[in-house]
Amino acid sequence: MSELSVDNLLGIKYLSVADINLIHKTADQFKEVINRPIKKVPSLRDITIANLFFENSTRTKLSFELAEKRLSADVINFSAAQSSVKKGETLVDTVNNILAMKVDIVVMRHPNPGAGVFLSKHIDARIVNAGDGAHEHPTQALLDSYSIREKLGSLQGKKVVIVGDILHSRVALSNIYCLKKLGAEVMVCGPATLLPRHIESLGVKVELNLKKALEWCDVANMLRVQNERMDISYFPSVREYVQQYGVHRELLDSLKKDIVIMHPGPINRGVEITSDVADSDQAIILNQVENGVAIRMAVLYLVAAKIRRND
């Protein structure tokens, strides 16, 4: 197979295993490209991409922008903070105004879950979801699974624990879908207040004790505590969270194996993981960032490949 089964990348939920494998395989080639002296290919030189960020983002936006530029696409950026959204324009109107400038692909981050799916029904452009509320963040899950694959060879039968704020995390949901599709076992671990109800129905294990979770797993994906999404107190204090759910060197040393530590960033050093863990050889946090560009190049390339010239 050498073509995606979907036209838009709205979420991992909509991808087949073959799609994920194709994206990973294509990312291998782009990873080679971005390590060349000249890191640019002309594939998307006749494609225009709009990055619409209705919610703050630094690294995802940079990563997408870099991926777009390395594919030679034309790029326009839009962020809600300085836009007409503040003046009361609807999402469809905003996007249609941008599309009137002949844009082929929209990369969108939006605070509302399902914004990408909604948009895909109302506009005539390809959509890549760069995060919709606490719903999905497909490119992050693709790059996380790619990074695990790169480190451990395969995901089949591997045990991955996602630690922290599962309730507010789009990374968690996309990762669960993606890892399970690739044959990994998934566990979530965190304070009960930050685990969504009925999460077991997704086929994941639930563990409240971090040490037990780490003893079980091959890979620990540490999520950030998303203070900005917490309207009420989910745990008594940051200090208590650190004591119960922070990963530190002594804890890792007490395990009988070396586990891989991942973090989607930005890290709250000293909260979910300590500095010595984040900077250790077990952590593949910066590999994740590098792979992020290759994965996004692969996604954009494969989405663009389905836009026929004469459409």
Partner 1 sequence: MSQKLLLDAAALDIILHRLACQLIENHDTFENTALIGLQPRGSFLLKRLADILTTHYKIKNLKTGLLDITFYRDDFRRSDEPLKANSTEINFLVESKKVVIVDDVLYTGRSIRAALTALQSFGRPDTIELLTLIDRRFSRHLPIQPDYNGRQVDAINNQKVKVLWKEHGGEDAVYLIKNED
Smallest separation (angstroms) from partner 1 to the CB of 153: 17
**Nearest partner of 168 among 259, 220, 231, 117, judged by Cα:** 231
Among 175-183, 194-202, 249-257, 303-311, which window interacts with partner 1 (CB under 8 A)? 303-311
User: Looking at 15, 23, 43, 283, which residue binds partner 1 (CB under 8 A)?
Assistant: 43
- Residue 55 per-residue DSSP state: S
User: Looking at 99, 152, 289, 307, which residue binds partner 1 (CB under 8 A)?
Assistant: 307
Smallest separation (angstroms) from partner 1 to the CB of 249: 37
**Count, residues near partner 1 per rule CB under 8 A:** 24
User: Looking at 78, 146, 234, 301, which residue binds partner 1 (CB under 8 A)?
Assistant: 301
The interface with partner 1 within residues 70-129 (CB under 8 A) comprises 71
155 vs 185: CA distance, rounded Å: 9
- 17-33 helix and 138-152 helix, angle to the nearest 10 degrees: 70
User: Looking at 13, 21, 41, 282, which residue binds partner 1 (CB under 8 A)?
Assistant: 41
Q: Which residues of 127-154 are buried (b: 16+ CB within 10 A; e: fewer)?
A: bbbbbbbbbbbbbbbbbbbbbbbbeeee
Among 13-21, 27-35, 128-136, 149-157, which window interacts with partner 1 (CB under 8 A)? 27-35
CA atoms within 13 A on the CB side of 152: 25
User: Looking at 8, 26, 129, 174, which residue binds partner 1 (CB under 8 A)?
Assistant: 26
65 vs 112: CA distance, rounded Å: 22
**For partner 1, the closer CB: 2 or 82:** 2
The answer to whether 20 and 277 are in contact (CB under 8 A) is: no
